[in-house]
Amino acid sequence: MRLIDADWVLGHLKPYEPSDEEWGVTGGTALRLIHNAVDNAPTVDAVPVVHGRWVTHYLSGTTVAEGYVSTCCDMWNNRKSDYCPPLRAKMDGGNENV
């Protein structure tokens, strides 16, 4: 999978002008032009978002006396935060990862 810069693609597609005779293209030509724009689009740097949640026990089942444990790294923290301090996982309770 390639992550491309959609703004670049849209910026390189010619704006639609109904009066422009060049717009009398076939569907196949239109698809070829779009494929060309996508194929030449620069890629963007991105990393997947890791999700986790705060719980009151370690993976071993041991309950913590105070604070919280991250489900993404099994490390203790004194308070809940939006992100796991060691891994920067998004602690939104999502179960997409851990």
Asked if 58 and 72 count as a contact pair (C-beta separation under 8 A), the reply is no
Mean pLDDT of the chain: 84
Q: Across residues 63-77, what is the average pLDDT?
A: 95
Domain-wise residue ranges, the chain: 6-40, 47-98
Asked if 57 and 68 count as a contact pair (C-beta separation under 8 A), the reply is no
Q: Has residue 37 got a pLDDT over 70?
A: yes
Q: Across residues 61-73, what is the average pLDDT?
A: 95
- pTM of the shown model: 0.54
Kindly state the helix (H) or strand (E) to which residue 70 belongs, with its residue range: strand 68-70
The pLDDT, as a whole number, for residue 82 is 94
The pLDDT, as a whole number, for residue 48 is 79
The pLDDT, as a whole number, for residue 61 is 95
Asked if 57 and 69 count as a contact pair (C-beta separation under 8 A), the reply is yes
Q: Has residue 76 got a pLDDT over 90?
A: yes
Asked if 67 and 76 count as a contact pair (C-beta separation under 8 A), the reply is yes
